[in-house]
Structure 1
Amino acid sequence: MTLDTLDSIDHADPATLRQARLDRPKLRARDLAEILGVAEGALVAAHVDGAQVIRIDPILDRLMPAIHALGDVMALTRNASVVHERCGSYEGYHSGNHASMVLGSEIDLRMFPRHWVHGFALLGGPRPSVQIFDAAGDAVHKVWLTDASDVAAFDALVAELRLADQSDTISLTPRTPVEAAQARPDKRADLHREWAAMTDTHQFLRLVSKVKMNRLGAYRTVGDPWVEALAPQAVTDLLHACAAQSVPLMLFVGNQGCIQIHSGTIHRVEPMGPWLNILDPRFNLHLRADHIAEVWHVTKPTKHGLVHSVEAFAADGALIVQIFAKRAPEAEAFAALLPGLPRQIAVGAGGAS
């Protein structure tokens, strides 16, 4: 079997995947997996040897205390269009059946346990890491050691969470497709009324479900004064403006299993080809600006006042990134930047165009 014949995860035998890694050692695992047409989790699993790559228990209630013991690390959460990297320690873990949280001053996570399916500890490479994948083999969350991490605690994590099964294959299920926008123009009046009655942003998803829509469908439906279509360039312009004026913000990046949040100011915003990068000492963001198809300025009423966000979506409807004001009193400075962002020239019945 040659690499050219790898057209599905069923054909990706571990020996072939290991050879592919040897043939292309400089490629990141995700990039190589995409070239090969396999899940990244399958590529990592192919290297399990019980010594340098070890299968570990991904259960959050066991994993999070062990990661907390590592001290300062780098947390990485990504989706297909953006990578969010934040240094810090895993403080303030709160367990939950549906959703769990880490509420540290630097590492801020919302985690959905049912998607934490396959866990690995990688001891080789430039730095040891913990890597978690979902049922389809897509990366959910990764934790990389830094120079300040407790290496002995990492050894203890591996010893404590090591699974008896150290096979080099994992069982994968088909990836859940992105849900397209579910808009209901006939329900606009109902959506508008429910939206105006919101007192907390956490009510939003229940609200849109009630009127049989999803997030993007609701944005395309509700209209003034709650949403406004922006040009894709608005995301780049907003990040540059926040950096130039030291306006604090909150950056949310997530996938099915994890949402990672940066709160505070940003400083160095640098484009590089299709990538827009934030390159700060403790926080990096790498965004494929060319993936942005729709951007919405969203306003939600709460009992504490209006909450503004700028939210970017890919052409398939996937949520890429959400940018919120940092909580009051800094929110006014963020809101003041929004009128200057470029608007979408026209909005058709199907959304931004």
Structure 2
Amino acid sequence: MTKHPVSIADTLKQAWQDLRADHPHMRIRDAAATLGVSEAELLATDCGNRVTRLREHWPALLGAVGTLAPVMALTRNAFAVHEKTGFYEDICPCGDVILITGHHIELCLSIGVWHSSFAVIEETHLGPRHSLQFFDTTGEAVHKIYLTEHADAGLYRRLVDIFRADDQSPYLAPPTDGTKQALGAIASSQDLPEHWQRLLLAHTPEAVLAGRIATPALREIMRQLAELLLPIQVLVGNPGAMQLHDGPIQNLKITGPWFNVLDQGFNLHLNEMAVAGADIVQLTYKQRDLTGLLVRDQNQQTILTIVGQFDEADGESALWRDLLLALPVIGPV
């Protein structure tokens, strides 16, 4: 006999409660993996309580985020988390892509693979934390937006009321076998601004491998960049979102397996246990040389991308290129 969807959701919710009782600090992403479901399925079990399912009006919803004042944008993949605090100001739809720029915020969102979204209230030791969370067809989180202490909580509640979906059942259908596009798969789109096209070229066959560096050399180049306060671009992405930091980095910290950048307005967390190496790639863009660093996992998938600052008149930073090419390589892949 087939179980009723609500009964399935109730069973899953109870399993999650039992798991949290044994592991009170376990993150929902890890809990979902432990229970063999997607994060979106697990989150939906709390609909009607501290979770509100939202309508799938992505451009309008993202546009309304601009009224909330500073928020924290979070985009991650399996091994890196990219957090930026700033404003969602200019929302520019380009087909299945939405480009967002604002003070300290730069996003390229592939909404064609988005499937569901929720407003979420989480209890923390600092009190309730409010967020908007977006998931793809596989139930994986592609992008999250957290209110900061300076954000307008009243406007947030009004936004949730406006975009509240009619269906608030705790059941979410199991994920589909969504096609996972590679980071930079939209690089050929002529609709993207030049700086996005230039950045994503590092993920195309036009990029020539110049060598691979090991994790110690990756730490060293990050240390040098922080010491020099050299402006760089740091990109973390997944099939549904790419998030960019443009500027220097400064405060570095190692915590267990995590290499962290802990700057005001920008945090980066990289799981070094997953890093197989970092590829130095070179290419030409409009008759100018470009050099990039692609941090890879064991399956040769890109975890994060770092490139130097680029000036339309002078090209990329010569200091960035010199630092990168001076690193000890462990040979081509």
TM-score (norm 2): 0.84
The corresponding residue for 1:192 is none
Amino-acid identity (%) = 30
SS at match of 1:259: strand
Please state how far the C-alpha of 1:17 moved relative to its aligned partner: 2.7
User: Given that residues 278 and 294 in structure 2 are in contact (C-alpha distance below 8 angstroms), is that contact kept between their aligned partners in structure 1?
Assistant: yes
Aligned to 2:163: 161
Alignment of 1:295-314 (within 5 A): 295-303=278-286, 305-314=288-297
Say whether 1:132 aligns with 2:131.
no
Amino acid at match of 1:278: V
Q: Partners in 1 of 2:293 and 2:114 — Cα distance?
A: 28
Structure 2 residue matching 1:240: 3-state secondary structure? helix
Task: Give CA deviations for 1:113-144 in whole Å, capped at 9, x if unaligned.
Answer: 12221101012423101111111110100011
Instruction: Tell me if structure 1 keeps the 8 A contact 2:9–2:170.
Output: no
In structure 2, the partner of 1:72 is 70
Distance 1:59 1:254 in 2: 22
Structure 2 residues not aligned, in runs of 5+: 1-7, 183-193
Q: Which residue of 2 aligns with 1:271?
A: 254
Which of 194, 202, 227 is the matching residue for 2:209? 227
- Residue identity opposite 1:263 in structure 2: D
1:320 to 298, 303, 309: 303
CA separation in 1, counterparts of 2:219 and 2:56? 36
- State whether residues 135 and 172 of structure 1, in contact with CA within 8 Å, keep that contact through their aligned partners in structure 2: no
Map of 1:107 onto structure 2: 105
Between structures 1 and 2, the one with greater strand share:
2
CA 1:120/1:23 → structure 2, altered by over 3 Å: closer, same or farther? farther
* Residue 143 (1) aligns with residue 145 (2): yes
The CA distance in 2 between the partners of 1:327 and 1:102, in whole Å, is 20
| Equivalent position amino acid for 1:202 in 2 | Q
1 CA distance for matches of 2:90 and 2:327? 36
CA contact (8 A) 2:293 2:306 kept: yes
Change (3 A) 1:12 1:326: farther
Backbone CA RMSD of aligned residues: 2.7
Counterpart of 1:16? 15
Q: Distance in 2 between matches of 1:237 and 1:143?
A: 32
Indicate how the Cα distance of structure 1 residues 27 and 203 shifts in structure 2: closer, same or farther if over 3 A, else same. closer
Q: Contact conserved, 2:88 with 2:102, CA < 8 A, in 1?
A: yes
What TM-score do the two structures reach when normalised by structure 1? 0.79
Where do residues 15-94 of structure 1 align in structure 2 (5 Å cutoff)? 15-49=14-48, 51-94=49-92
1:333 equivalenced with 2:311 (yes/no): no
Return the offset for 1:274: 1.4
> What code does the residue aligned with 2:212 have?
L
Equivalent in 272, 283, 290 of residue 289 of structure 1: 272
Kindly provide the amino acid, as one letter, of the partner of residue 72 in structure 2. M
* Distance in 2, Cα, partners of 1:201 & 1:147: 31
Q: Which residue of 2 aligns with 1:195?
A: none
- Separation in 2 of the partners of 1:68 and 1:200? 23
User: How many residues are aligned here?
Assistant: 307
- Structure 1 residues 115 and 179, CA, compared in 2 at 3 Å: closer, same or farther? closer
1:182-235 Cα offsets, whole Å, 9 max, x none, are xxxxxxxxxxxxxxxxx9983898x99xxxxx84xx48xx7xxx3212223233
Whether the 8 Å CA contact 1:297–1:311 is kept in 2: the answer is yes
